[in-house]
Amino acid sequence: MAETFRKEIVQRITKNLLDIQMLRLIQTQPMWGYKIKKQVEAKFGVRLRHGALYPLLNNLERKGFLTSEKQRQGGRTRKVYTITRKGIQYVEAYNSILKEQLEGF
């Protein structure tokens, strides 16, 4: 049962706080959409539709949490995202809230 709960909660957090989980991933190293999709799916056990992912990435860039750079690999293009200072601050705010939650009410 505890394991069922775990999976369910992880999936809920991933779904509802997907942008934060993505920023955290990109914080470890710059990454492009497709790779983010694969990593999120593997790490959190959720299906991440690309139809939701790419608009979200563009949105995070528009808001200043990410910057992107197009990289060519032969004829194929990757849009590699890097986290900004603003993005790091957002993740840090999240981390500090987690800490408080663990310390209890």
Partner DNA sequence: TGAGATATGTCTTAAAAAGGACATATAGTA
Partner DNA sequence: TACTATATGTCCTTTTTAAGACATATCTCA
Can you give the binding site for a second copy, defined by CB under 8 A?
1-2, 5-6, 9-10, 12-13, 16-17, 20, 24-25, 28, 43, 86, 89-90, 92-99, 101-102, 105
Q: What is the DSSP string of 91-103?
A: HHHHHHHHHHHHH
Site string for DNA, 42-81 (x = CB under 7 A): -----x-xxxx-xx-xx--------------xxxxxxxx-
Angle at 77 between CA 79 and CA 42, to 5 degrees: 60
The minimum distance between CB 97 and a second copy, in angstroms, equals 6
| DSSP secondary structure letter of residue 32 | E
The minimum distance between CB 31 and DNA, in angstroms, equals 9
29 interacts with, out of DNA, a second copy, none, CB within 5 to 8 A per kind: none
Q: What is the DSSP string of 55-86?
A: HHHHHHHHTTSEEEEEEEETTEEEEEEEE-HH
